[in-house]
Structure 1
């Protein structure tokens, strides 16, 4: 038996509360990385323990640029290989195997950051961070593709929202524990003037990630192996699956309309999530502690936002709910352009949190509804969805930086993001999403 196989996985019974809660626990597990390492603690730590200018061969780059390049490298790599991997997963029936592989790969990357304490170990910090990013992004492809397997269409919005809610609660809980350890290391018997508390926090993310992932690993449907076990054969089959999905998408007008809109607003959403703290520090002189408060506001409000817009979609439909959020995103961009005080920015952060959880959750469930009925190769379809999001991240952050470089004002970059949201709204309003019959289901 393969070391990553799970012998006691639950059968694929849709709307099973135990299976759905197990699926949502994967969000609880991996969202700790998204919050603690990509947003709250690791970025300022990376800048604090490295030189302002780093020499790579004969090239001089700033430490912030190196950090950004590490993110881009991870996302570009996973965007290139995830369609191939997802096709293999569907062709060979190895969806769970890949979910476990990327989870383990990412958790090991987090654990390696325990040894990153300065310039002498810069290679450890950079490679470990890239590994964790690849593990996080790669695992999401397979995690998202389980949604049509475990829930009926009428439950997509609610189940998707539950996953995001679990993720926000779990990540905030671990972040609070990490912050106490960093701010009050004496409570844990740790030295006050040292990088050890922060480095232990990174290792805790890895343990949290791999530890809580054991729950979905045991409860989600196990792999149903089919075809050859040879990687070369599965790669060929996977490539054929990818070609088939690409061919099918050409004739699915509604799916294409959604993906166009999704790409445009993902450029705005993901760029804001990654660079909001940069804007706050540069334009409003936010201190590191204040930025952490902003992050906590985003996460906590996002829990309610995920459920609120899932509820709105049940009564008014997905298009209405998504369009409402896009209008709020446009208002956020306009408000950020004119914001002058810290108090105003906290309100904007609250608004971002409200629509951040909702738009990510509802995007996943809307895409699931648009897939052809009885689709078996869900992973291949979701790989397109995931690749678009990754390319959107690279495109959005690049255009954001380019706009600031050309105009000399980061506020103009915010307005450019507003244009992305406006374009996505126009595309979205042409979309028609079927309204599934509501069932009485407890999850």
Structure 2
């Protein structure tokens, strides 16, 4: 296949630049710390009431994210079927980008009520707004990625996918760090922006940051939408029922996987280690705030370390895959993640948290980028890339749901004797299973190669 023009490839990478601000500010740093700060209270174990049931505040956060990923997992096959029928993945990507950015901005209204100089109260209405906006922004982010990921095999041949995938992640890290710095200025220098009272200084800057994320995401994404292509009329498929067809396509992909044992084994391994990776990343800030009692500035420093180290980490892992092979490199990364889980159980200081964050950063972007490109390279030669990537995304989201629910459930059940530390240690099991299945994948690939050569 021909390589797409440079401006088109760069436009694809630019969407990572645009939407990674959500992943950093809303998923990883300011919003989780803000949520923990305004939901903790004097009730036993910081319980809050949501929809008539009491939850540990951080467990509610993880359950809500898990629910969002259930919705995305269910929607993905329908969305890709509709996009394939219309022949325009770009428009559906634009819709969910717009939806996600709007609800990021609406998080501005997730705020406590002023009672007195040192007392504030979070109403049930405000909590409901925060949870629902968080869920809908999450759905917008991940649903748009279904279409974003499916563009990769349309733009470049297999030999370039590892490098272009890594470039996208690298651009994303750089863009998100730039916006994070702008948010830092607002958060750490509130007086410069007219927020002079303690109440304003504590609660207005994070809310301004949420609006900045929405505007950044929506604004830079327009570059991608201007240059990314739409399918030609000949490439569009006729569907009698686009809503049921998505699930039929997944069934079709599963049938094809039975004839592709290496790809099938890889997806099993990806399911297990992906459950651990995403959960660690989503819960890192909560862990630092709740278990280590770190202030927001130290939490943000840690996530910034992760982002900055992830840039060279993604490049190093991409180069390592070229030298040692994708599966072998992924196995090495998973071993590092197992060490991260063990280390997290025993850390108690901010310096230890920084070191652990740097370790996570080295393998975070690289393993995600390499997983995406490995799957792309193992796929059969087909124009129906949206269906194959829908299967990939559904696998990832179901794994993430299992990871988030496991993390939240273990925290609630062991809140008196370990809480989140037990949750992190339990994630090690997911990585161990992922490592074992990667070993099966490598062995199967070697056998098929020897058989073909023999």
- With normalisation by structure 1, the TM-score equals 0.88
1:215 and 1:192 map into 2 onto residues whose CA distance is: 39
**Aligned residue among 108, 133, 138 for 1:128:** 133
Q: Secondary structure at the match of 2:3?
A: coil
Q: Does structure 2 retain, via aligned residues, the 8 Å contact 1:90–1:238?
A: no
Aligned: 1:415 with 2:409: no
1:99 maps to which residue?
93
Cα deviation digits, residues 314-348 of structure 1 (max 9, x gap): 12210121111112112222323333433222211
- Residues 45, 276 of structure 1: alpha-carbon distance in 2 compared, 3 angstrom cutoff: closer
| Structure 1 pair 96–271 and aligned structure 2 pair: CA distance change class (3 A) | same
Is the contact made by 2:48 and 2:57 (CA closer than 8 Å) also made in structure 1? Answer: yes
- Pair 46,402 (structure 1): closer, same or farther in 2 beyond 3 Å: closer
Equivalences for residues 243-262 of structure 1 within 5 A: 243-262=251-270
Partner residue of 2:376? Answer: 368
Contact 1:332/1:348 (CA < 8 Å) preserved in 2?
A: yes
Classify 1:397/1:238 alpha carbon distance in 2 versus 1 (closer, same or farther; 3 Å): closer
Contact 1:228 1:234 (C-alpha < 8 Å) held by counterparts: no
Residue deviations 1:28-62 (CA, integer Å, cap 9, x gap): 10110111011111122234344744444543334
**1:234-284 CA distances to partner (integer Å, 9 max, x unpaired)?**
335444433322221222211111111001101111111122233333443
- Which residue of 282, 306, 315 corresponds with 1:298? 306
SS, match of residue 251 in structure 1? coil
Residue 11 of structure 2 corresponds to residue 17 of structure 1: no
| CA distance in structure 1 between the aligned counterparts of 2:423 and 2:57, rounded to whole angstroms | 22
- Structure 1 segment 348-427 matched on structure 2, within 5 A: 348-373=356-381, 375-404=382-411, 408-409=417-418, 410-427=420-437
Q: 2: CA distance between counterparts of 1:222 and 1:22?
A: 13
For structure 1, the residue ranges without an aligned partner over 5 or more in a row are: 1-11, 435-443
Aligned CA distance change for structure 1 residues 412 and 174 (closer, same or farther; 3 Å): same
- Indicate the residue corresponding to 2:82 in structure 1: 88
Contact 1:105 1:132 in 2 (8 A): yes
1:63-100, CA deviations, whole angstroms, 9 ceiling, x for partnerless residues?
A: 43332232122111111111121122223312112111
Q: Give the TM-score of the pair, scaled to structure 2.
A: 0.86
> Residues of 2 paired with 1:133 and 1:372: CA distance?
30
Structure 2, gaps ≥5 residues long: 42-46, 113-122, 447-454
Deviates most, 230-239 or 191-200: 230-239
Give the one of 421, 428, 437 matched to 2:438: 428
May I ask how many residue pairs the two structures share in their alignment?
422
Give matches, 1:266-277, under 5 Å: 266-277=274-285
Picking from 161, 165, 173, the partner of 1:160 is: 165
Secondary structure at the aligned position of 1:61 is classed as strand
Greater alpha carbon shift after TM alignment, 76-85 vs 354-363? 76-85
Match of 1:48 in 2: 37
Structure 1 residue 68 corresponds to structure 2 residue 78:
no
CA apart distance, 1:217: 0.8
Partner of 1:36: 25
- Partner Cα distance (2:264, 2:305) in 1: 34
Contact residue 298 and residue 350 of structure 2 kept, 8 A? no
Most deviating of 154-163 and 269-278: 269-278
